Amino acid sequence: MIKVAIVEDNTALRNSLCNLFNKTEGMKCVASLNNLLNVVSEMGKASPDIILMDIGLPHISGIEGVRTVKMNFPKIQVMMFTVFEEDDKIFDAIKAGASGYLLKKTPPEEIVEAIKELYHGGAPMSSSIARKVIQSFQFKSQENTLGDYPLTVRENEILYSLVDGLSYKKIAEKYCVSISTIRTHICNIYHKLHVNSKTEAVAKVLKR
């Protein structure tokens, strides 16, 4: 059972999302908040696997909320769910510890799939957001070669596929290999980059 918490100040949207998760097999909405004022105590009680969090919240922003959640509950994954497509918002959220970034125009079925993907180790992003991340990654790579990070051609292809929002299953299909082979490649990527997740890998390159 995937336990999901929602932090969203739009009541209608928040209730709609909660109903969506409760009606999805293998998924449950365990908390529904309209702000982050009591996020530590509420998440402590609800113990979610994933938090779907808006950025433009009253009192405390979602980006600050990510930092607070990750500091107190490192194992909880946070997916940003917002209207913002600005580069600074995207990268601030990633650097703060967000593991995914969806726009509010994302269809319900894709939101559900993104939650499942995040739960199983992926890092889902809306396609337009992934494109911005790739463009920044490419720009930074031109300024600073990845010589310090000796990834193979296939490892680089898989890393870009992850950033582009593909699930492990879709990457495996793309390269005609098993999902376990993709997981092995990803483990090697993380080892070479000295990180524990795809978002850490992207953030590390962005900071160079």
* DSSP characters over 137-165: HHHHHHHS-GGGS---HHHHHHHHHHHTT
With tokens 């009680």, the residue in question is 45
pTM summary value: 0.66
What beta strand segments (E) does 55-166 contain? 77-82, 100-103
Q: Do residues 171 and 161 make contact, with C-beta atoms less than 8 angstroms apart?
A: yes
User: Domains of the chain by range and CATH?
Assistant: 2-124 (3.40.50.2300), 130-206 (1.10.10.10)
Distance, in Å, from the CA atom of 177 to the CA atom of 190, rounded to the nearest integer, reads 19
Residue 188 pLDDT: 79
Which pair of structure tokens corresponds to residue 102? 């969806």
Q: Do residues 152 and 121 make contact, with C-beta atoms less than 8 angstroms apart?
A: no
Residue 6 pLDDT: 97
Per-residue pLDDT of the chain (208 residues; tens, 9 = 90+): 999 999 999 999 999 999 999 999 999 999 999 999 999 999 999 999 999 999 989 889 999 999 999 999 999 999 998 886 666 677 788 778 888 888 888 899 999 999 998 898 877 877 666 666 656 655 454 444 444 557 788 888 887 787 666 777 888 899 999 888 887 887 777 777 766 566 666 555 555 4
Q: Which long-range contacts (CB under 8 A, 24 or more apart) does 8-12 make?
A: 8/33, 8/34, 8/52, 8/53, 8/54, 8/57, 8/81, 9/34, 9/35, 9/54, 9/56, 9/57, 9/58, 10/54
